Amino acid sequence: TPTAAASARVTPLEVAAMRQAMLLARRGPRHGANPRVGCVLLTPDGSVVGEGWHAGAGTPHAEVAALRDAASRGLPTDGATAVVTLEPCDHTGRTGPCTQALLAAGVRRVVVSVPDPNPVAAGGAERLRAAGVDVVTDVLAPDGRTLLGTWLASVERGRPFVTLKLATSLDGRVAAADGSSRWITSDVSRHHAHDLRAEVDAIAVGTGTVLADDPSLTARNAAGELHRDQPLRVVVGHRDVPAGARLHGPGGEVVHVRSHDPADVLRVLAEREVRHLLVEGGPTLAAAFLRARLVDEVHAYVAPVLLGAGPSAVADLGVTGIDGALRLTMRSVLPLGPDVLVVATPEPP
């Protein structure tokens, strides 16, 4: 395996520095256009001279932050080893290329966990080797991939990673026969779902849900206060959003995609560098994403409530016989107060 091959070429101090770099990376935000990345700079004898992490798009990359840390401590980086969780970038995006910064600082060796899958930024390892730097990749790669999470999945797919959220009664309904839907699940489940909103880049609902429920689609804490970063609010469908809708209140920017095709929605969002989309309903939008095989993960909050009538969480999927059922793989079941959260993933197409 690449990991075994890499481990033969790294020292125990470098592996320990990689674990530290991964902890540093976790200080960065889980959401946003950019990945979480950490970097530790070591002298040739293995002492730490600088540490850095990436705090989100537009801020310095982890390598540059670590070089600045060393400079601010008055410690030399000449001949140093950079241990970094993602392959250093070789492009000028919102900031300059990390390859150039590392070379200018005299770094002679670079230890990487995961190669950068983003075509515009990739090529750093190649560039550094061409400049005579010793580069080792795939160190603790499984942990490095876990750290990158939905960012990596999104870049690999070339579209946002899609989580479908359902909140249902035990018999799979999202509202009673008269349309009333507040509150099927408990406040424990609702707070949990709000934490998920704070982790994603965008939340989508159909126009039917806007008209029926008038949601605000904001990420709030248990006290009802808005988080600092708010997800983009995406309305899908041809009907207009009423001028007085709660969506027009404080929160993230509102984007209206006048199409019923989930692929159109993902295209618009990919252009805006959305990496993680949460589809919150209603049943028509959920079915459209499922039929298009554009759901990566389902989060179902299920309450011990029976309604016996009323709309189900997912509209017609075109399944006429049991052989055509959409089968998912159970990933986890989490009790949440009186409810449970089921996380399941569809079979890859």
> Which segments are annotated as binding site?
61, 89, 98, 167, 181, 183, 197, 209, 213, 217, 220, 280, 282-288
Q: How far is the CB of 121 from ligand AOF (least distance, A)?
A: 3
88 binds ligand AOF (CB under 6 A): yes
- The least distance separating ligand AOF from the CB of residue 119, rounded to whole angstroms, comes to 9
How crowded is residue 46: how many other Cβ atoms within 10 Å of its Cβ? 13
Q: Which is nearer to ligand AOF, 195 or 229 (CB)?
A: 229
Min separation Cβ 4 and ligand AOF, Å: 25
82 forms part of the interface with ligand AOF (CB under 6 A): no
Nearest-angstrom CA–CA distance, 15 and 155: 26
Contacts of 3 (CB under 8 A, 6+ apart): 138, 139, 140, 141, 142
* SS3 state at 206: strand
Q: What does the per-residue mask of binding to ligand AOF show for 255-284, with x meaning CB under 6 A?
A: ------------------------------
In angstroms, the Cα distances linking 56 to 35, 86, 98, 182 are 8, 14, 15, 36
Q: Counting contacts by CB under 5 A, is residue 98 touching Zn ion?
A: yes
DSSP letter for each residue of 294-341: --SEEEEEEES---SSS-BSS---S--SGGG---EEEEEEEEETTEEE
Residue 101 touching Zn ion (CB under 5 A): no
Q: Does 169 bind ligand AOF (CB under 6 A)?
A: no
Residue 105 within binding range of Zn ion, rule CB under 5 A? no
Instruction: State the nearest-atom distance from the C-beta of 122 to ligand AOF, in Å.
Output: 7
61 contributes a contact to Zn ion by CB under 5 A: yes
For the beta carbon of residue 192, count every other beta carbon within 10 angstroms: 18
Binding residues for Zn(2+): 61, 89, 98
22-25 long-range contacts, CB within 8 A, separation 24+ = 22/85, 22/113, 22/140, 22/143, 22/144, 22/147, 24/51, 24/52, 24/53, 24/62, 25/53, 25/54, 25/62, 25/85, 25/147
**Residue count, binding to ligand AOF (CB under 6 A):** 18
Pairing between β-strand 109-114 and β-strand 48-53 as defined by DSSP bridges = unpaired
Binding piece for ligand AOF, criterion CB under 6 A, among 60-68, 71-79, 213-221, 263-271: 60-68
Check residue 275 and report its DSSP letter.
-
Q: Site for ligand AOF (CB under 6 A): which residue of 14, 69, 116, 280?
A: 116
- By CB under 6 A, what part of segment 120-159 binds ligand AOF? 121
Interface ranges with ligand AOF (CB under 6 A): 34-35, 37, 54, 57, 61-63, 86, 88-89, 93-95, 98, 116, 118, 121
Interface ranges with Zn ion (CB under 5 A): 61, 89, 98
